[in-house]
Amino acid sequence: MPIHLAQSWPAHEAVLFDLDGVVTPTAEVHMRAWSHMFNAWLDGLRESGDAPAGADLSAYTDADYFAHVDGKPRYDGVRDLVASRGIALPEGDPTDEPAAETVCGLGNRKNDAFNEVLERDGVTAYPGSVALLDHLRDLGLPLAVVSSSGNAPAVLEAAGLLDRFAFVMSGVVATERGLPGKPAPDTFLAAAEELGASAAGCVVLEDAVSGVKAGAAGGFADVVGVDRGAGADVLTAAGATLVVSDLAELVPADGTAGAAS
């Protein structure tokens, strides 16, 4: 039976949070941005007739997001979705203009859409996630964010939470270090090292299947799946040792530190 984390936080060395869908509801913004970008692109292929024979040009749905995009570095998500539709695109370069018909061009197109929504609407963290952050701060546990998004620092700053984390492993930092993205465990392992913690002493909090798989592959003490739509059974099958619907479930009811177990 999984450790009851609400009472065992002091037994751990550090906590590693995914960002979108775990700390902030920006996963919804990402989902809308991906949907807008991919459906506009697929519409263009249908209208132009430029798609290869046999390509799947049906509408992009939330099921595509969870199967091919969720939790992955942006260009990996583009590459996987495009491949699933039987379409080959040139890789391009991260400096490609958003209009470019390349993997990087589509990824940059999506990033522009995300930044427009973030600038216009801002972001407010989940109350339950803030409650857990408050509790872990009181315990003095070091915290890190491990996100595939290059926008992670901007999102944290917009939510007023950047100072809560000793280290932010964003997509940009991962690329600079040459680290493969989730579902590989490398970004989580590097963040644990930055905090001076061992994998066996860390808890991973993730809502994406790819992120849960990364935590499971890294040998972490616990991998908590946060069910924001992927499904508890799916997260458990991916390797989650515990699934919750809100991080408030991981805060002791009496607000005390709890006993180590």
Residues annotated catalytic, as ranges: 18, 20
Identify the sign of the CA torsion 40, 90, 179, 168.
negative
- Contacts (Cβ under 8 Å, ≥6 apart) of 210: 70, 71, 72, 182, 183
Task: Give the other-Cβ count within 10 Å of 237's Cβ.
Answer: 13
Contact at 8 Å (CB) between 150 and 176? no
- Contacts (Cβ under 8 Å, ≥6 apart) of 255: 135
